[in-house]
Amino acid sequence: MNGTTRGVLDVLVVDDDVRVARINAAYVAKVPGFRVAAQAHCAAEALDFLASHRVDLILLDHYLPDENGLDLVRRLRERGHGTDVIMVTAARDLVTVQAAMRLGALQYLVKPFTFAGLRGRLEAYGALRRALETGGEAEQSEVDRIFGALAAAGSANELPKGHSPTTADLVRRVLRSADGPLSTQQIADRAGISRQTAQRYLKLLDRAGRVTLALRYGETGRPEHRYTWLPSEGA
């Protein structure tokens, strides 16, 4: 972290899709305490901007036209830039996720996501910055709080309006405790909810990359959707 003490945190939005970059920038602008310093649509633009401007946080897509996002992070670190990074990308493969973690990305947000999902992470990042700017030493409880702030971000904030965190947790627990793939009806029965409700939450988990979806064809010839939790997503 770059250690600035300004009241507003400056964000560089990097995404090759101009429309997506604008949407992400608009999301950032809606979160109190954050402002968009600039938008870049390739690694070269980002490097040029950072050569003469200082920002607190980079929202970084992995798929860029001239080099990927993680290579950009490596180049920034080589040049002495300690700017914080939150990956915002459609890349879901575990190799990329692990590389991002090892390069020090504070969060990894998979596209598509809601405004609430990004807002939760930005708010947690803001809280983390405020905690670190106090300086001095920290007791174990404070260290735990700092490290847990970003990990907890978005657990309930990612849900669109009309969705219950309690129901979402029920569906997650059913999937995580299963010995194998489950159908929508099996998940609904184990969670004690209707099939339609289970289907709504499973669609969210699928879009977020937290489950794998397979089709099984029965005697009727109609495919049955079967879901498996991805262990790499943790809680």
Which pLDDT tens digit goes with each residue over 102-147?
888 888 888 888 888 888 888 888 878 877 777 667 667 666 666 6
133: how many CB neighbours lie within 10 A of its CB? 11
**What is the predicted pLDDT for the residue at 181?**
92
Percent of the chain with pLDDT over 90: 43
Global pTM reads 0.62
Do 17 and 89 share a structural domain? Answer: yes
97 and 133 both lie in a single domain: yes
How confident is residue 149, by pLDDT bands cut at 50, 70 and 90?
low
pLDDT of residue 66: 95
Same domain (yes/no): 104, 142: yes
One domain for residues 120 and 172: no
- Does residue 220 carry a pLDDT above 60? no
Ranked by mean pLDDT, the top range of 53-57, 89-93, 97-101, 212-216 is 53-57
Query: What is the reported pLDDT for 138?
Result: 64
Number of independent structural domains in the chain? 2
Same domain, 47 and 143: yes
Which of these three, 152, 186, 201, is where a domain ends?
A: 152
Give yes or no: residues 227 and 194 share one domain. yes
Together in a domain, 192 and 144: no
Domain match, 120 and 176 both: no
User: 108 and 138: one domain?
Assistant: yes
Distance of alpha carbon 102 from alpha carbon 114, whole angstroms: 26
In this structure, are 189 and 116 located in the same domain? Answer: no
pLDDT of residue 50: 95
Q: How many CB atoms lie under 10 A from the CB of residue 111? A: 19
My answer on whether 110 and 186 are in the same domain is: no
Whether residue 193 sits in one domain with residue 78: no
Q: How far apart are CA 25 and CA 33, in angstroms?
A: 14
pLDDT of 35-83, one tens digit each? 999 999 999 999 999 999 999 999 999 999 999 999 999 999 998 888 9
Beta carbons within 8 Å of 30's beta carbon, 6+ residues apart: 115, 119
Can you give the residue range of the structural domain that contains 196? 165-233
Q: Where are the beta strands (DSSP E) in the chain?
A: 9-14, 34-40, 57-60, 84-89, 107-110, 182-183, 211-217, 223-229
